[in-house]
Amino acid sequence: MMWARIWAVLLLLGMASQVTAEGFRISDIRVEGLQRITAGTVFNYLPVKPGDEVDFDHTSDIVRELYKTGFFKDVRLEKAGNVLVVVVTERPAISEIRFSGNKSIDTDKLKEGLKDIGLAEGRTFDRSVLDGIEQELERQYYNQGKYAVKLTSTVTPLERNRVAIDINVVEGETALIKKINIVGNTVFEDDDLLDQFELSTGGWLSRFTRDNQYSRPKLSGDLETLRSYYLDRGYINFKIDSTQVAITPDKKDIYITINVTEGDIYTIKDIRLAGDLVGEPEEYFPLIHLRRGEPFARKAVVESSDRVSAKLSDLGYAFANVNSIPEIDEETKSVTITLFVDPGKRAYVRRINIRGNSRTRDEVVRREFRQMESAWFSGEKLKLSRERVQRTGYFDNVNVETPSVPGSADEVDINVSVSEKPSGQLLAGLGFSQSDGVIVNASISQDNFAGTGKKVSLALQTSGANQAYQVSYTNPYYTVDGISRGFNLSYRATDFRELDTADYRTDDGIASVNFGFPLSEFNRINFGAAIHSIDFKVGSVPSTEVLAFQTAEGNSFLDFETNLSWKHDSRDSAIFPREGAVQSLFAEMSIPGSDLQYWKLSYEHRRYWSITREFVVSLFGEIGFGDAYGSTSRLPFFENFFGGGPGSIRGFAARSVGPRDSQGEPLGGNAMYAGNIELLFPPPFQQKTETVRLAAFLDFGSVVDANSYDLFDSNELRYSAGLGASWLSPLGALTVSFALPFRADSQDEKEQFQFSLGTTF
């Protein structure tokens, strides 16, 4: 180090002697030795320019500034008359970084890690930076649990002042957690405590979850979980005394030891409210879920404080502060909880700012908001507004922030940040459904046409069973009050024989109009009217039932239909919801004077509960009934209910559950019920995903002819259980299921594996 300093001083003295100690006025500056870097770049960093005086005191500043750029490994100053000559030697450029032996970490990710410390292809090579390569790469491999990794780097000079860096990786085996010991616990068993941890000693899913690979952040999270576990059960003086992490000499096994002191259990002695309460104290006590004599629970205290804060937020106090202050009595082992309320000033909303909507108009977002500008701030209205925007289906993410207005103590802005997703589709391709077979479709649809929130679609589809053409238009805000209006023109030709049902065909042309009326934030009614022109054709080998219907009713029908429906939707998201419910009641009837006179009534209800961060329970039930009236003898076959297949009772072939005709083909029935219980969860190898969801399910249901059987006849009940997956793929929604039917009739067609891909209309 001493010789390096002496050499630097001598170097500066040598340069200074070339510039001259007396100094001179620079008439020009010339740069020599440049290969890749332009002279202009050097001039930008030089602290002098032509016309300046330069002497010995300035030379060190010039050299220092050029060294600081990192572009040069040598800088020398010379004087040619009154011309300052800067002679440089450039550092080489990194031409390529090559990896070999890396299996666990992709090469691109390794390069990203090196880029963060300044080493990347195209950048200037600095050997001092190269020294940090192994530390950075070791850090990445340590995060993967590979503590035996060995790295060797080689620098190869190339032409044109370039270098290639070769890094050889010997990964070694992944170190796994062999044992987690908790020392000092006497109240709770080790297994009960370790069940709360994210880290574990491994299981059959560890290949995907990697929960048996040590990670410092994960251990910190588990220690906090352990602390919360005790504090939520009254152990207010619980402490984690120390934590030791040991790795075996062969760097294959990791042992974790956690030393704890449990302390005594404390109960709640009293609960008090203090501070500046808004309203009567009695209004707050239902929000405080604490009871005298029960063990102290930090989670319950925090949640009670949050509920009081939320109530104040709904009243406009956006900056309310609710602090819980525990007073510990060591003699009685009890705690007095005081909730100190500081509401602050009541806040107004100054502006609602919307960002990220490059295609969608501001009004499409604003019309879903229930929190208004210049009104009192309300946390509940803001939450409802966000959910309504999310339910439009136009956005992947909707984030809301409420910063205070600078210089104002009683105003907030609401910043809404949205991430738009493609709301239009231009499709021309193939799909496949086990019920319809190969599907050829072409469509142009836009759920958010020109950013207005209107839905427009033009579609055609052809398959072995169906040919369909459709033009539709819906304006969800036909009026400013949220009344919707839609039109639909469609034609569908269906060969029911190709659907493995009774042998007949229908050609159905429809022209319809519908209106929707909002009743409340979550409830809506819809009214529609339609004209149906139907041609009914029997097949080559029709059944007795089909021939009887043709004889009684004819082959061509013109029907005038009306429908009325009610829908309740309180889901937190239209895609993969976690909370809320959606239910609907639908009634349709062909009015008197139609060639076919019938009516149908159906009801559906699906509810979601989030039981943990990853798992969601869903319950679904539906029931339907229909019949003929007037001169029509029975509900038309093509209006019957069917059961089985994806979206119904899985494990049974589509439309195979229910009554059959004289030839043993499915005919459907005029009454049905179905339901399922599902446990929804993300893939084990990807805990957070917006495109994939797995399910374990139990399906049940029945389809009957209510004129011959009781709808709830236990002998007609079918049920199955299995596993399924849903994927929002670029080609459309893909659903896959594997189900085992546990109760089936001899005529039912079983189909354990089922899937559907593509868009149908």
CA atoms of 376 and 528, how far apart (whole Å): 39
**What is the model's pLDDT at position 188?**
92
Q: How many CB atoms lie within 10 A of CB 96?
A: 13
CA atoms of 546 and 279, how far apart (whole Å): 71
Biggest distance spanned by C-alpha atoms of the chain:
121
**What is the model's pLDDT at position 4?**
45
**What is the model's pLDDT at position 5?**
46
**Best CA proximity match to 457, nearest among 435, 417, 427, 429:** 427
Per residue in 260-280, pLDDT (tens digit) is: 999 999 999 999 999 888 888
Query: Which H or E run contains 552?
Result: helix 544-553
Per residue in 48-93, pLDDT (tens digit) is: 888 888 876 678 888 888 888 878 878 888 888 888 888 888 888 8
CATH 2.70.50.30 fits 93-170, yes or no: no
List, as one string, the DSSP characters of 108-160. Answer: HHHHHHHHHTT--TTSBP-HHHHTTHHHHHHHHHHHTT-TT-EEEEEEEEETT
CATH number of 176-261: 3.10.20.310
644 pLDDT exceeds 60? yes
582 pLDDT exceeds 90? yes
- List the domain boundaries for the chain: 2-90, 93-170, 176-261, 267-342, 348-420, 424-757
Query: What three-state secondary structure class fits 412?
Result: strand
348-365: average pLDDT: 90
Contacts of 131-138 spanning 24+ positions with Cβ under 8 A: 133/167, 137/110, 137/113, 137/167, 137/169
Cβ-in-10-Å burial (0-12, 13-18, 19+) of 400 comes to middle
Lowest-pLDDT choice from 603-607, 662-666, 672-676: 662-666
**464 confidence band (pLDDT: 50, 70, 90):** low
CB 675 within 8 A of CB 617: no
Per residue in 474-512, pLDDT (tens digit) is: 999 999 888 999 999 999 888 877 776 777 888 899 999
Buried-state track 18-42, b at ≥16 Cβ within 10 A, e below 16: ebeeeeeebeebebeebeebeeeeb
CA atoms of 533 and 556, how far apart (whole Å): 8
Lowest-pLDDT choice from 68-82, 613-627, 660-674: 68-82
CATH of 424-757, one of 2.40.160.50, 3.30.390.50, 3.90.199.10, 3.30.43.10: 2.40.160.50
Six token digits for residue 480: 């400013």
358 pLDDT exceeds 50? yes
Six token digits for residue 647: 């979206």
Greater confidence (449 vs 56) lies with: 449
**What is the model's pLDDT at position 295?**
93
**658 confidence band (pLDDT: 50, 70, 90):** confident
Q: What percent of the chain has pLDDT over 90?
A: 33
Per residue in 499-553, pLDDT (tens digit) is: 767 778 888 999 999 999 999 888 999 999 999 999 988 877 888 888 888 888 8
pTM: 0.61
30-35: average pLDDT: 84
**600 confidence band (pLDDT: 50, 70, 90):** very high
592 pLDDT exceeds 70? yes
Per residue in 286-300, pLDDT (tens digit) is: 899 889 999 999 999
**What is the model's pLDDT at position 417?**
92
**What is the model's pLDDT at position 686?**
60
**Matching CATH topology for 93-170 and 424-757?**
no
Query: What three-state secondary structure class fits 502?
Result: coil
**10 confidence band (pLDDT: 50, 70, 90):** very low
**What is the model's pLDDT at position 7?**
45
Six token digits for residue 489: 């023109």
662-691: average pLDDT: 83
Residues pairing with 580 in the sheet: 608
Q: What is the dihedral of CA 719, 720, 725, 727, to 10 degrees?
A: -40
**What is the model's pLDDT at position 278?**
85
CATH architecture of 267-342: Roll (3.10)
**Residue in this structure with the two tokens 């050609």, named with its chain if needed:** 507
**Best CA proximity match to 727, nearest among 683, 685, 676:** 683
**What is the model's pLDDT at position 95?**
82
CATH number of 2-90: 3.10.20.310
11 pLDDT exceeds 50? no
Task: Tell me what the pLDDT averaged over the chain comes to.
Answer: 84
CATH number of 348-420: 3.10.20.310
**What is the model's pLDDT at position 685?**
62
432 pLDDT exceeds 50? no
Greater confidence (436 vs 304) lies with: 304
**What is the model's pLDDT at position 721?**
94
351-372: average pLDDT: 90
The amino acid sitting at 78 is E
CA atoms of 681 and 615, how far apart (whole Å): 5
Distance in angstroms between the alpha carbons of the first and the last residue of the chain: 79
326 pLDDT exceeds 60? yes
**Residue in this structure with the two tokens 């193939």, named with its chain if needed:** 430
**What is the model's pLDDT at position 354?**
93
249 pLDDT exceeds 70? yes
CA atoms of 301 and 645, how far apart (whole Å): 49
378-389: average pLDDT: 90
